[in-house]
Amino acid sequence: EVQLVESGGGSVQTGGSLRLSCTATGFIFDGAYVAWYRQGPGRGCDLVSKIRQDGTIYYVDSAKDRFIASQDNAKNIVYLQMNNLQPDDTALYFCAASRHDVWVGSIDPCGRFGNWGQGTQVTVSS
């Protein structure tokens, strides 16, 4: 059984930083597609970044220059370093993993396609 667990969320002020982690059991991140999604209050499930199978990384425009996705294959952990956080970044953040490229942009609902964690809450106050 595949299980993904996110951690590292919390409450920060505008301009603060957080590093989210995603650990997996029953799934190897190396060579897989791993995405970070988020769902803010009253919003849909939006893609934040995606590590492709070849190691290249896609970011949505709002995450470029602020967020950095990475993975430690030795530890089988994926990270999302988030800097200069803004109130609009407030959301429940999910990691998702699949052997196939199944995510393109926003999806409905969160949890559709691939394997997902339960999410970690990020709250940014002004």
Residues in a beta bridge with 23 = 5, 77
CA separation for the pair 102, 107 (Å, rounded): 10
pLDDT in tens, 20-36: 999 999 999 999 999 99
How many percent of the chain have pLDDT more than 90?
A: 92
CA separation for the pair 40, 25 (Å, rounded): 27
pLDDT at 108: 85
For residue 112, what is the DSSP state? -
pLDDT at 94: 98
For residue 62, what is the DSSP state? T
pLDDT in tens, 69-112: 999 999 999 999 999 999 999 999 999 999 999 888 898 899 98
pLDDT (average), residues 41-46: 94
